């Protein structure tokens, strides 16, 4: 009997796949794409279906979306951990071998061109003209292409790190909340006066 899960070829995830998921193309998404592909190469992981991989993202910005698509580490599977320290740093842990790499970015921080900052402010506040809008998108496009095509060592540092395996997502039993009657994971309930409540209900009681 054929096991379809183990016979198909690994699917190559492109940057366009990431753009489709994220909704737009941007330099942040490009760095997430570069980080995930570089880390997977360093860890010898090729299949995005590989659930042995865990990603720890030190940001909650655009790059995280590329990480989910490329590395297959998603919020729903529990193998995406966000520790938002506001850093463009991503650690990937391979459970099978207990090995991890941390990818950080060292883009040369050019002093921000005040005209670009002004342009960005206009675009974000919706007051930019069509020309300014186009000019801004052209700049973003250039920055994105730069990140996508720069030699790895020019923009990233990929280091092996040693760490404890992140805790596995556990499957919890469900119970019925004494307040709203909705089903809720046991571990997420609060006991008030001997009864189990979901968190929002327990907060209403107090
Ligand atoms: Zn973005
Ligand atoms: Zn409730």
Q: Check residue 10 and give its pLDDT.
A: 56
Domain that holds residue 182: 174-205
pLDDT at 1: 44
The pLDDT value recorded for residue 2 is 43
- Quote the pLDDT of residue 3: 47
Handedness of CA 92, 97, 98, 104 (dihedral sign): negative
Ligand showing the shortest atom-to-Cα distance for residue 27: 1
Q: Residue 89 C-alpha to ligand 1 middle, in angstroms?
A: 16
Q: Does the residue 168 lie in any domain? A: no
167 in a structural domain:
no
Ligand number nearest to the C-alpha of 192: 2
What is the predicted pLDDT for the residue at 170? 67
Task: Look at residue 169 and tell me if it is in a domain.
Answer: no
Taking the whole predicted model, whether its pTM rises above 0.85 is answered as no
- Give residues with Cβ within 8 angstroms of 54, minimum separation 6: 73, 79, 80, 81, 92, 93, 95, 165, 166
Q: Are residues 152 and 180 both part of a single domain?
A: no
Tokens of 156: 């990233």
Ligand number, closest to the Cα atom of 22: 1
Contact 145, 166 (CB under 8 A): no
My answer on whether 80 and 142 are in the same domain is: yes
Domain co-membership, 152 together with 179: no
**Per-residue pLDDT tens for 14-60?**
999 999 999 999 999 999 999 999 999 999 987 666 678 999 999 99
CB 72 within 8 A of CB 21: no
CA dist., res. 24 & res. 108, Å (int) = 24
Distance, CA of 165 to CA of 146 (rounded, Å): 34
Measure 170 CA to ligand 2 centroid, in angstroms: 21
Burial 15-30 (b: 16+ CB within 10 A, else e): bebbbeebeebbbbbb
Task: Tell me which ligand sits closest to the C-alpha of residue 200.
Answer: 2
Q: Are residues 157 and 188 in the same domain?
A: no
The position carrying tokens 């092996």 is: 160
Residues ≥6 apart with Cβ < 8 Å to 64:
32, 57, 80, 82
CB neighbour list of residue 99: distance below 8 Å, 6 or more residues apart:
43, 93, 160
Residues 31 and 78 in one domain: yes
* Confidence at residue 27, expressed as pLDDT on a 0 to 100 scale: 94
Q: What is the pLDDT of residue 29?
A: 97
206 alpha carbon – ligand 2 mean position (Å): 13
Pairing of strands 80-82, 53-57: parallel
Can you give the pLDDT at residue 16?
96
Q: Give the residue ranges of the chain where pLDDT is below 70.
A: 1-11, 47-50, 107-111, 169-170, 206
Instruction: Tell me, yes or no, whether 58 and 98 share the same domain.
Output: yes
**CATH number for the domain that contains residue 178:** 3.30.60
Q: How many domains in the chain?
A: 2
Q: Are residues 34 and 135 in the same domain?
A: yes
pLDDT of residue 106: 84
């Amino acid at each position: 009997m054929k096991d379809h899960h183990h016979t198909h070829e690994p699917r190559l995830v492109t940057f366009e796949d990431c753009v489709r998921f994220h909704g737009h193309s941007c330099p942040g998404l490009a760095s997430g794409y570069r980080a995930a592909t570089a880390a997977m190469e360093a860890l010898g992981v090729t299949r995005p279906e590989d659930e042995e991989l865990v990603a720890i993202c030190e940001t909650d910005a655009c790059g995280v979306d590329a990480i989910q698509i490329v590395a297959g580490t998603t919020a729903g599977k529990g193998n995406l951990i966000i520790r938002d320290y506001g850093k463009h740093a991503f650690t990937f842990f391979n459970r099978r071998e207990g090995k991890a790499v941390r990818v950080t970015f060292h883009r040369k921080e050019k002093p921000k061109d005040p005209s670009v900052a002004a342009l960005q402010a206009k675009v974000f506040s919706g007051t930019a003209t069509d020309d300014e809008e186009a000019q801004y998108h052209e700049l973003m496009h250039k920055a994105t292409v730069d990140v996508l095509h720069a030699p790895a060592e020019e923009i990233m540092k990929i280091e092996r790190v040693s760490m404890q395996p992140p805790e596995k997502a556990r499957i919890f039993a469900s119970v019925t909340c004494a307040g709203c009657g909705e089903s809720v994971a046991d571990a997420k309930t609060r006991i008030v006066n001997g009864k189990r409540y979901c968190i929002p209900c327990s907060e209403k009681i107090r």
